[in-house]
Amino acid sequence: MNRHFSIPKNFEDSIAAALASHKLTLQDSKALAKNVLMLSDFFIQNPDGQTPWHQSFAQIAYLSYYLPLNAARLRAVTQEGAKRNFFAELENVIDFGAGLATASLALSETQNLQYTLIEVASEPQKIIETHFKDFKAQEWIRTFSAGRLKNPKKTLALFSYSLTELNDLPEWAAECEAVMIVEPSTQQDGRKLMALRQRLLEKGYHAWAPCTHEGPCPLLTQSKNDWCHDRIHFDAPEWFQRMEEHLPMKNRTLTTSYLLMRKTAPEKIEAARVVGDTLKEKGKDRQMICRGPDREFLAWLHKNKNSQEIPRGVLVKIPNDIQKVSNELRVQTEVELF
Ligand SMILES: C[S@@+](CC[C@H](N)C(=O)[O-])C[C@H]1O[C@@H](n2cnc3c(N)ncnc32)[C@H](O)[C@@H]1O
């Protein structure tokens, strides 16, 4: 199961070309890291501030750090969506708060759709049009409202790290057939997203991923602390690792919280989502799964010598011979990926 993501060559070439306009190369590790820290400090001092796109430090930081990391997260979410046929029959994407078109760039690598980018700042459009030539946007717009929606039944409303400050979906998005939301995997943002899932279900949307069911979310209703999030491996190229040597944060694995919902119902599946890392405990290993309103764990008893580590975020088939003991599903035969 491939849960490893990196930076594709053409993507890296575009980043390098954009950095050249700031007289930097991918090898200028220390200078790149300095700009990343400046943007990170900016957000610490202005938690609700808009990305200062007019400043070159923000452009450099986004290009060399946030863009490759967020694009990897978006590729993983897209892969999970595609496995469930989530993008079938969609034609248009409205990428709200697009920034450097991060989500659309990643999605367009596998999904041939028409991309409209909504971005209040003008600099990102210029950077993408000049340096990311493989990507063709339908149009860039500074602000969006319901009246501009042309084809809602075939439209995906896409929010990548852009819903944080809004409490609910904007009015126009609720008219769209599909919504794809990716949020920082913090407890606060993650739980807010799970609450939004519940409101969208009540409005008639269906949950496609990560959820495998439409009952109450067990991480929300049966815990005060949990939040649903995925984890992928980021195989950073050498230049990225060298830049990271000058940064306090390391990114060998990346987490993300996401939600894919449509007005049409998904095909029913007999599967569970692995929503936890392996927990090594006395006498057993456990991994949390989600397949209904109960908080449940797959458990491998050490005495059975059948240990297994399943990548967090994938779908699995629950074997028929599982032994259920309270909230534990004790594994006898190998758990297969869906
Ligand atoms: C955190 S960034 C996310 C960028 C990108 N989607 C990503 O995943 O990397 C949020 C972006 O939303 C833009 N933005 C904020 N409010 C907006 C609004 N009302 N309309 C359009 N864009 C907005 C900001 O300029 C910024 O580029």
Tell me how far apart the alpha carbons of residues 227 and 219 are, in angstroms, rounded to a whole number: 6
Which pLDDT value is given to residue 1? 60
For ligand 1, say whether the CB of 121 is within 6 Å of any of its atoms. yes
Tell me how far apart the alpha carbons of residues 83 and 313 are, in angstroms, rounded to a whole number: 12
For ligand 1, say whether the CB of 68 is within 6 Å of any of its atoms. no
Tell me how far apart the alpha carbons of residues 115 and 203 are, in angstroms, rounded to a whole number: 26
For ligand 1, say whether the CB of 99 is within 6 Å of any of its atoms. yes
Closest CA to 289 of 322, 260, 267: 322
Nearest CA to ligand 1 atom 16: 97
Which pLDDT value is given to residue 26? 98
Tell me how far apart the alpha carbons of residues 102 and 94 are, in angstroms, rounded to a whole number: 13
Burial class (CB in 10 A: 0-12, 13-18, 19+), 265: exposed
Nearest CA to ligand 1 atom 4: 99
Instruction: Locate the ligand 1 atom nearest the alpha carbon of residue 67 and give its number.
Output: 9
User: Tell me, what DSSP letter sits at residue 22?
Assistant: T
Cβ(17)–Cβ(24) under 8 Å? no
Which pLDDT value is given to residue 210? 98
For ligand 1, say whether the CB of 51 is within 6 Å of any of its atoms. yes
| Residue to mutate, 40, 95, 120, ligand 1, most ligand atoms under 8 Å from C-beta | 120
Closest CA to 26 of 9, 49, 3, 47: 9
Q: Look up residue 302 and give its two tokens.
A: 């050490």
Give me ligand 1 centre to Cα 97, in Å.
3
Instruction: Locate the ligand 1 atom nearest the alpha carbon of residue 144 and give its number.
Output: 20
| CATH superfamily, with its number, for domain 4-262 | Vaccinia Virus protein VP39 (3.40.50.150)
For ligand 1, say whether the CB of 160 is within 6 Å of any of its atoms. yes
Tell me how far apart the alpha carbons of residues 329 and 10 are, in angstroms, rounded to a whole number: 44
Which pLDDT value is given to residue 163? 87
Tell me how far apart the alpha carbons of residues 111 and 107 are, in angstroms, rounded to a whole number: 6
Q: Look up residue 144 and give its two tokens.
A: 């969006």
Q: Are strands 315-317 and 272-274 parallel, antiparallel or unpaired?
A: antiparallel
Which parts of the chain register pLDDT below 70? 1-2, 165, 167
Which pLDDT value is given to residue 166? 72
- Those residues whose C-beta lies under 8 Å from the C-beta of residue 64, and which sit 6 or more positions away, are 15, 19, 26, 32, 35, 36, 240, 243
Domain boundaries, the chain: 4-262, 272-337
- Among left, alpha and beta (phi > 0; psi -120 to 50; other), residue 178 is beta
pTM score, whole prediction: 0.96
